[in-house]
Amino acid sequence: MSEKVAIVYWCDGAGHAARSIPVAKEFEARGCEVAIGGGGQGEPFVDMNGFDQPDLTKVAVKGSTPLSFLRHTLFDLIPSAGRRYRELDDWLAAEDPDVLVTDDIFAAIVAIRQGIPFYRIDHLTTELFGPVWGTPLSIYNDLSLRFGEGIVVSSLWADQPDPPGITRVGPLAQEGDGEVEPYDVLLNPGTHGENFAAIREALEANGYDVRTVGDDEWETKPAMTPYTEAAEVVVCTGFSSIADTVVAGTPCVIYPFLPFQEALADRAEELDIEGVSKAASVTEVLDQVEDYCRSDETPDYDNGAPAFVDAVLDE
């Protein structure tokens, strides 16, 4: 059994940290010592769950035009990537874990160099995509499986056959305690969501009690499931927000923006998962919220964290 586990989550977007928290807690519940870090938007969530973290440089890809992207790459991305690699190299050497769980490519490279066994955590598989996105993901998977121990994928369809070298588990949710007064709709725009102000305005005009994650009235919470469970329906974009919703048994309207979000929403729609649907416009969001609030349809999922840890500890 691994006595010490290091977890390094990617720093661009809070969802990478969010899915690491239930995994870290499950390792601790099994008696493992856990060291965790990553930085970025998800860092406050990890702090609030009682974990100490190293100070790591954030790396992000930016630029709305080719010129701005080139400038960002030359003057920010490359220097930041170099600093993050060195910081992770020092930190992992000091922590000396028995195994690493990560979705950070720099941490994986450090693990290979230092001889640390590692598992990649992900929520995407190649069959979701065509050649534009599927080919680079396939190459990434091949390299991860060549140098790592395996890839564990958090999924809404964990009962589907596993691709070669990949273990599917259920959605990873930030479960927690706390009484929350029931309300109608929770909006969770995530890092990249748009049009959520318009959605809220329209819902409130129709008499719905609405909350929005990240607005001026919202306090960052150590766990999301008490708030997703208290809602009649949740509208969100990214997979970690979906996980927090379906594990709580609350209907989820996926309103995607990024290509990866689109692919996941399309597959969920194709599989006709109860209590999970895709909306492609503000009007569709409003219609689906109304439908869910009038129906008894709910998703049925267990937290995938125990199965994830089983896969890493080979239990």
Q: What is the pLDDT of residues 93-114, one digit of tens each?
A: 999 999 999 999 999 999 999 9
Q: What pLDDT, on a 0 to 100 scale, did the predictor assign at position 77?
A: 77
Q: What pLDDT, on a 0 to 100 scale, did the predictor assign at position 78?
A: 83
- Percent of the chain, pLDDT > 70? 94
In angstroms, the CA 23 to CA 179 distance is: 23
Q: Which positions ≥6 away from 212 have C-beta within 8 Å?
A: 186, 187, 188, 189, 196, 200, 218
- Long-range CB contacts for residues 260-264, cutoff 8 Å, separation at least 24: 260/124, 260/133, 261/192, 261/237, 263/124, 263/128, 263/129, 263/133, 264/123, 264/124, 264/128, 264/156, 264/239
Read off the pLDDT of each residue in 184-195 and give the average, rounded to a whole number. Answer: 88
What pTM does this model have? Answer: 0.92
Kind plus residue range of the DSSP H or E element containing 265:
helix 259-271
Q: What pLDDT, on a 0 to 100 scale, did the predictor assign at position 172?
A: 97
pLDDT score of 152 more than 80: yes
Q: What pLDDT, on a 0 to 100 scale, did the predictor assign at position 60?
A: 75
3, 99 Cβ separation under 8 angstroms: no
pLDDT score of 132 more than 90: no
pLDDT-derived band of residue 7, with 50, 70 and 90 as boundaries? very high
In angstroms, the CA 178 to CA 31 distance is: 25
pLDDT score of 32 more than 60: yes
**What confidence tens digit (pLDDT) does each residue in 245-266 have?**
999 999 999 999 888 899 999 9
**Range with the largest mean pLDDT of 69-78, 220-229, 272-281:** 272-281
Indicate the average pLDDT of the chain: 92
**What confidence tens digit (pLDDT) does each residue in 67-82 have?**
565 565 555 778 889 9
pLDDT score of 2 more than 70: no
For 304, how many CA atoms within 13 A lie in the half-sphere containing its CB? 28
Q: What pLDDT, on a 0 to 100 scale, did the predictor assign at position 314?
A: 86
Q: 67 or 305, which is more confident? A: 305
Q: What pLDDT, on a 0 to 100 scale, did the predictor assign at position 286?
A: 97
Residue ranges and CATH numbers for the domains of the chain are 4-172+304-313 (3.40.50.2000), 183-294 (3.40.50.2000)
> Where does 34-126 have alpha helices with state H?
43-48, 66-72, 78-95, 105-114
Read off the pLDDT of each residue in 36-58 and give the average, rounded to a whole number. Answer: 94
Read off the pLDDT of each residue in 222-239 and give the average, rounded to a whole number. Answer: 94
Q: What pLDDT, on a 0 to 100 scale, did the predictor assign at position 14?
A: 86
